[in-house]
Chains A and B, each alone.
Chain A
Amino acid sequence: MEVKGEIYRVSGPVVIATGIRPKMYDVVKVGHEGLMGEVIKIEGDKSTIQVYEDTSGIEPGEPVENTGLPLSVELGPGLLESIYDGIQRPLQVLQDKMGDFIARGATANGIDREKQWEFKPIVNKGDKVEPGDIIGIVQETPNLEHQIMVPPNIQGGTVSGIYSGKFTVDETVCVLSNGKELSMLQKWPVRTPRPTKRKLKPNRPLLTGQRILDGMFPVAKGGTAAIPGPFGSGKTVTQQQLAKWSDTDIVVYIGCGERGNEMADVLDEFPELEDPKAGRPLMERTVLIANTSNMPVAAREASVYTGVTISEYYRDMGYDVALMADSTSRWAEAMREISSRLEEMPGEEGYPAYLAARLSEFYERAGYVKSNSGYDGSITVIGAVSPPGGDFSEPVTQNTLRIVKVFWALDAKLSQRRHFPAINWLTSYSLYTESLSDWLSENVAPDWIDLRNYAMDILEEESELQEIVQLVGSDALPESQQLKLEVARMFREYFLQQNAFHEIDRYCPFYKQYKLVQAIHKFSETANSKLEAGYSINDIMAMESKDELAKVRYEEDFDGELNKVLSKMDDEFSQIGG
């Protein structure tokens, strides 16, 4: 049902066409070159189209063809290890077709049609299958079993044919009695969430190996987090740390309107690094979506939907997926740019009035769910936010904070002092601490929550004490408070600070985090009792073991070194005791 019309007006990425009688979000082919676009507004006979490619040279009067289908992604084996643009064109294929610069008008399938996969059925002839049910398995990577599911948008039925062996993704592997032929490939409209049975309460942490995140402000698997901060404060480094070290099955990383070199970096590094969970090259669990700042804005707008739909597909198989979007502000700006070309009534700071709704719809697609396949899966969404001038009162940050449950506030003051990760421990928060406490008590240590609260309290007290110190100097404080300042410093420098580029320190498993906090706590308690017994703070400040604790996290033999430092600490304390 292809209807042809023609272009009436071209204004940058926005084209108005007449005569195509589309539905909202239909994909259309624009101009002689058939540039891909999507209908975003219908007014009488005039349809407004956002075009995913450069429109230079396109003229009124050129043909427009409606495909009648919504913007969709292709889902099936072969997604992993891919790098796509915002509308799921594999960048590698684009390079083969057009060279090192992206010309326009190229089409490319999201999933390779030539490659064969070994399909192992798990249903038999005569079985009844429903939408979402798993019919077979493909080993997509050495570590990942890709579940082939009945697409959610077709009717179920009785299996009348099922084939095992090597197939390409579009060959039939299963036939239902209603005549429906199933292949390993499905298509799904990106703007529609894939259905699930129901949402579950997120009660397992996403373990990231980042001390300030796991230890202080954890995000749950299936939760939402935002990481706002001015330029150069560490959004990308943090997102990449999460992509590298999280204990997740799948990572979907969306470079949304950011730098090309950063994507090149990921492509360079990920194949070399090992997934801490599976011990396989990181790339094998990763799908990259790279729509850099100089690529078309309409495709940037689409990129987050492409990413979240791919995430939902793996979630439906029962996997834990972590999705990073860097940066959601660039996505919002793409919305703003297109909206202003539509001459829509602008809301706050020129953003469209529907900004808040789009943001919440997006984060709503996160969650820990019971999927239609019967498995439980999750999508954790972590969005970077780039507020102008680093001012968090702007609309994108504010609307995001209303939705997400974890707030990692990057702070320019910290990054300028090279305190990394530059996450402000006083203003950040996690609303999951409560729901994760059972898991943490069971899996980390029964006293972990207490230890963490202890650290948080000291850090808060420090900020109050600092105000006094500014006025009178620290020597004027009582010794017990001087000790508090020292312990707070140790928490900041030995625990919160973590170098993303240090071979060992970049990933710190929870047991090490626990032991570090425990060690500082123990120091603090013992020192306190010494002070109470009348010994001087100067003796405590002079302890070498205290400073040596700083280096333990860089050691290959963490436990051995920590024990050495701790026994030296015991010795030093007993010497103070006299």
Chain B
Amino acid sequence: MTKEYKTITQISGPLIFLEKTEPVGYGELVQINTEDGSTKRGQVLDTSEDTVVVQVFEGTGGLNDSAGVVFTGETIKLPVSKDMLGRILSGSGEPLDEGPHIVPDKRLDINGAAMNPYSRRPPEEFIQTGISTIDGTNTLVRGQKLPIFSGSGLPHNEIALQIARQSSVLGSEEEFAVVFAAMGITHEESQTFMDDFEKTGALERAVVFLNHADDPAVERMITPRMALTAAEYLAYEHDMHVLVILTDMTNYAEALRQMGAAREEVPGRQGYPGYMYTDLASLYERAGVIKGRKGSVTQIPILTMPGDDITHPIPDLSGYITEGQIVVSRELHRKGIYPPINVLPSLSRLMGSGIGGGKTRDDHKKVSDQLYAGYAEGRDLRGLVAIVGKEALSERDRKFLEFADHFEDRFVRQGRDENRSVEDTLNISWDILSELPIKQLTRIDDKIIEKYHPAKQTTSESEYQPQEQEVSGEQ
């Protein structure tokens, strides 16, 4: 019924050029029939009365100009249904597990549509990840996009898995799902993810899209879009709270660069396309909460910073779109600390609206500020000690130096299966803060100190204790 064209005039990288077609729609899905009988899929990037340019998702390997090209007349759609939960799909949405084909409830355009800003509800519901460096100092909230900026060889995937396993919203029994999209990761890495999902039973409430390192790079262009389409469907049509993990966005950006080069576009910084900001935004902005709807889409994109450089275009443009970042540090990793999250360059911009009395605890903000300030100071002092030696430090400075160590050891460090409640996180914070002289806790006001500082807690326990303290004070 649909016409097959055999008018390929040029093949270049992932692109094919055709002539003399009937009018073809921009963005249309294309099927390419190769000589050996296999089929590939592609998408129209440019269409005119003379020439049509198609990007081929499975790559152009093995294609020649005798391949037949069929235009499907529609843009790329993902068949969706609630039965997707528990399924493992390829980077272009084909089942990889032994399960049956998904009987679609709907077929949705994978590019989605922009959420009307007027329909958005500001994100404010605290998500407890059980990880102190996130919950305590860089809080995640529902509907936020909070990436993990990492480096190659660092345990970002473990952190993501731990978040996926442990995430919960205080006092809520609502339905929760994970959509996991892998782009260009190794089979070994994806095996780790799958094993973990299966072991913990998380797979039942997960949809997995896998594009491996040896899968075609251009397929990476659609993998995250499919994942986000599935997430939006579960969130807004089934009232689920969906956590989307996208890994590794660096591989996605590389694919984007490759596509741009193939199209001979004028490159932007470091060869990445000038529209990379807009392109990344079309993914990251698909996080959010909508007024009057129950579900939500929260994103944790993971990216490895080339050369650990946070000003590299990939982390840089991501940082300009996301609502903060969790920075994984090679230095802490070398020290053997898990999770090696450095809170100093990390930031959750939506933290303020997700914490405090009635949400987490009334001391949360101040404690976080104080931890941050104390740790920053302690780390500066480490630099100084390297020059002048520890002896040259004042008593006060020595306390801060120790504080930085204890912060890394007791607050940052935790077990891979250790799921700390936010109460635990705050209590650990007070434990280590109480090693500093009270006068140095300048970020915390007196009322909060009275209420939470361990040294102030004895009074209520029994009547004679204060007296005892007075006596010992006099001696």
Contacts and interface: CB of A to CB of B under 8 A. Distances in A.
Interface of A: 8-12, 16, 54-62, 83, 91-92, 94-95, 98-103, 230-232, 255, 257, 259-261, 263-265, 267-268, 290, 292-295, 297, 330, 333, 336-337, 340, 346, 349-350, 386, 388-391, 416-418, 473, 501
B432 interface: no
Interface string B305-341: 0000001110011011101110000000000000000
B27 interface: yes
A292 B114 contact: yes
Contact of A59 (B24, B120, B316): B24
B26 interface: yes
Interface in B292-306: 293
B274 A294 contact: no
Interface stretch (B41-49, B78-86, B205-213, B406-414): B41-49
B281 interface: yes
A267 B321 CA distance: 19
A388 B269 contact: yes
B282 interface: yes
B466 interface: no
A259 B121 CA distance: 13
Nearest to A291: B117
Contacts of B266: 340, 346, 350
Interface in B167-200: none
B103 interface: no
B38 interface: no
A16 B282 CA distance: 24
A101 B115 contact: yes
Interface stretch (B4-12, B87-95, B343-351, B454-462): B343-351
14 contacts: A56-B26, A56-B111, A57-B26, A57-B75, A60-B49, A61-B23, A95-B116, A99-B119, A101-B114, A260-B114, A333-B274, A333-B275, A337-B275, A418-B373
A388 B48 contact: no
A293 B345 contact: no
Contacts of B347: 232
Given A57-B28, A418-B372, A103 B313 contact: no
A101 B113 contact: yes
Interface string B44-59: 0111110000000000
Contact of A259 (B75, B275, B286, B323): B323
Interface residues of B, number: 69
B376 interface: yes
A59 B26 contact: yes
Contacts of B46: 9-11
Contacts of A350: 266-268, 274
A31 B349 CA distance: 41
Contacts of A103: 113
Interface string B9-23: 000000000000001
B26 A11 contact: yes
B25 interface: yes
Nearest to B320: A231
Interface in B368-416: 369, 372-373, 376, 388
Most chain-A CB neighbours within 10 Å: which of B111, B113, B269, B311? Answer: B113
B26 A340 contact: no
A10 B28 CA distance: 12
A91 B24 contact: no
A343 to B, nearest CB: 9
A340 B263 CA distance: 12
A292 B117 contact: yes
A98 B114 CA distance: 12
Contacts of B48: 8-10, 16, 60
Given A10-B48, A255-B117, A260-B115, A232 B344 contact: no
B151 interface: no
A340 B274 contact: yes
B118 A92 contact: yes
Given A293-B321, A333-B277, A340-B274, A60 B285 contact: no
A349 B268 CA distance: 6
A261 B119 contact: no
Contact of B116 (A61, A102, A390, A391): A102
Contacts of B376: 417-418
B136 interface: no
B349 A232 contact: yes
Interface string B222-256: 00000000000000100000000000000000000
A501 B356 CA distance: 13
Contacts of A60: 23-24, 47-49
Given A100-B115, A294-B114, A57 B27 contact: yes
A294 B275 CA distance: 12
A346 B264 CA distance: 13
Interface string B105-129: 0000101111111111111000000
B277 A330 contact: yes
A94 B116 contact: yes
A293 B280 CA distance: 9
